[in-house]
Amino acid sequence: MSSDREIHGDTANLKASQARALARLYERSVPADQVIAAPLARDLLELSHELGRQLGLFLDRRGRVQAVILGDAHSLTLPEFERVRGAAGRLRGVRLVLTHLVVEPLSREELADLAKLRLDLVAAIHRGPAGIQVDMACLEPPTHAGEAFSSRRWQRVALSSLHREPGEGGDEGPREQRPVEPLPHPFDDFVRDLEGRLEAATSRARAERSGARAMILMVHQGGPDVAARQHELRELCRTLSIEVVEVVEQRRPHPDPRTFLGSGKLREVLVRALEQDVELLICDPELSPSQARTISEQTDLKVIDRTMLILDIFALHAKSSDGKLQVELAQLRYRMPFMVGHGTMMSRLAGGIGGRGPGETKLELDRRKAKNRVHDLEQRLHHLRRQRAQRRSLRSSSGVPVVAIVGYTNAGKSTLLNTVTQSEVIAENKLFATLDPTVRRIRFPQDREVVLLDTVGFIRDLPPALMQAFSATLEEVAEADLLLMVVDAGDSDREQHMATVEAILGELGAGEVARFIVYNKADRLTPEELAERRADAPSGTFFISALDRRSTTPLMHAIEAHLWERGKVERPFAQVLAAAAAAAEEPAEAAIEP
């Protein structure tokens, strides 16, 4: 919205004198404690009737004119604001005063603008039987939890009554026109109190919710995987206790390079987000730095993309020092391209007194600190990689085979590990519940031992920053003797999940490692579905319920037979116990039934 004496609306047929009269409205002002000054209201109505068109003014809280709007005989088209405000119940800081050519109440469109734009107040002035009269409305906090903000309207009042202190005498017009509640006077005190009550109501409502409210923005070309991708986004949000209010889809070849959805669609989405008390926008596919900057310039809402969402989940679930280091490195690598200038805020100087030149800008200082931190993390993770390599070498020299459990996130890998080793690794019905790799030992009959490795789950389009940061951990998979690819048997998108896992294994150099396919949650299939899938399954496929240890017995026997045939399980348990126990991450063994 511009305030450089621009007249918003169709000015093509105005006389020069009329255009000048409209431009001079920018020179007018209103006392901060009044909704509208009587002289300005009279002049505005006179000019409106002369033109035969509605007029409107945007006034800020100091009473200065921010915009002059020219409509037609029945309505106004309001100019857009640069930013959509929606944080913590804040109001726009601007009120709309408009003229009505006939005596009529505020229209539904005008009340909708009040809510969508979060205006401080809307006031319509017109000439009535008792002189100039005013219809007013403002937002009102909800009376019950879960309700949206409502409109509070005053019964039509005389303009003169807006400028008197409570209790003053004077002609207020007929009794039926007297307000049934206090008028917004003084206006500056009124709007501060109103905004405080709105903020308190918003904070109270958000405190009662378990998580943030979000809107998902998806751009895609259609196809069978759209529904699965949307479901996956919802599951990612559920893992972080984010409530998805709405999913906005746009079918186009590529996201708009500047605004992701296109400027018109983005504006519509921002208003809808405001109406539904949304706090977070989640974009899929990934945002570019310029897209993130453009959207952030138009709204107070937090804007992230799918990769940032996954990084947040990793940060939440990282428990070990190694895992936290890897997550921090991934976050820094991903966010550094987004550290670009943002208006004058990023131009503040951080150089000290006595330094040459203007010193570093805050942005440059932040980027340099981030680069230094990345270098430090890379050095520490390099040390971590060497330690893991030494432990793998120790296991290899002792003849202890490694079986790695891999698969799509939330397929049941940790549950399987817990069941067959009688462990208590965290296993939840959430994406990426397991982040830190877990190692347990299994003792087979005849004193043979196997190391079982639980790994982080995979996901389609796994962010490269995560792949790179977790390379020290994922190297374990490439050097395993056998892989157990766990698949959710009841997931309709299981074939795509398997293809994703296969592709990631190939990137890790584990494409040629022998593997068993383990369909978990088979107990959720009907007998007919189970029989059909068994008939179509290739050799090396097992159907289990990771919660039922008996169902895993054929799988355990197959692991033993496979490793025995390859000559991996050879040494007596007593000879390898000391070497295996040297790895600090490997606790005491768990026995299984023959």
**CA distances from residue 529 to 483, 523, 535 in whole angstroms, order as listed:** 25, 10, 10
pLDDT tens by residue, the chain, 594 residues:
545 678 999 999 899 999 999 999 999 999 999 999 999 999 999 999 999 999 999 999 999 999 999 999 988 888 877 666 555 567 889 999 999 999 999 988 888 788 778 899 999 999 988 789 999 999 888 665 555 566 788 878 888 887 655 544 444 444 444 444 578 889 999 999 988 888 887 777 666 666 788 999 999 998 888 888 999 899 889 888 888 989 999 999 999 999 999 988 888 888 788 767 788 899 998 999 889 888 888 887 889 999 888 888 888 877 777 778 888 888 888 888 877 644 322 332 333 333 334 444 566 777 788 889 988 988 888 887 788 777 767 766 667 788 999 999 888 888 888 888 877 655 555 566 555 667 777 777 666 788 888 887 888 887 777 777 666 667 778 888 899 999 999 888 889 999 999 998 888 888 888 999 999 999 888 889 888 888 888 888 999 998 888 999 899 888 888 887 666 554 443 333 333 344 334 433 343 333
Query: Within 10 Å of residue 151's Cβ, how many Cβ atoms?
Result: 15
Query: Within 10 Å of residue 465's Cβ, how many Cβ atoms?
Result: 19
> For residue 329, what are the contacts with CB-CB under 8 A and spacing of at least 6?
374, 377, 378, 381, 465, 469
Rounded Cα–Cα distance for residues 418 and 549 (Å):
10
Q: Is 460 left (phi over 0), alpha (psi -120 to 50) or beta?
A: beta
What is the secondary structure of 290-307 as a DSSP string? Answer: HHHHHHHHHBSSEEEEHH
Rounded Cα–Cα distance for residues 533 and 498 (Å):
15
Rounded Cα–Cα distance for residues 379 and 376 (Å):
5
At 379, which helix (H) or strand (E)? helix 362-397
15 token code pair: 């006389």
Query: Within 10 Å of residue 460's Cβ, how many Cβ atoms?
Result: 19
Rounded Cα–Cα distance for residues 588 and 193 (Å):
64
With beta carbons less than 8 A apart as the criterion, state whether 484 and 404 touch.
yes
516 DSSP β-pair partners: 484
Give the residue carrying structure tokens 């017995």.
553
With beta carbons less than 8 A apart as the criterion, state whether 197 and 214 touch.
no
Give the domains, in start order, of the chain with CATH numbers.
7-205 (no CATH), 213-314 (3.40.50.11060), 323-379 (no CATH), 383-591 (3.40.50.300)
CA angle, corner 331, sides to 327 and 337, nearest 5? Answer: 160
DSSP state of 532: H
DSSP state of 186: S
With beta carbons less than 8 A apart as the criterion, state whether 543 and 363 touch.
no
> CA-CA-CA-CA torsion for 83, 88, 94, 100, nearest 10 degrees?
100
Check the CA dihedral 244-245-248-249 and report its sign: positive
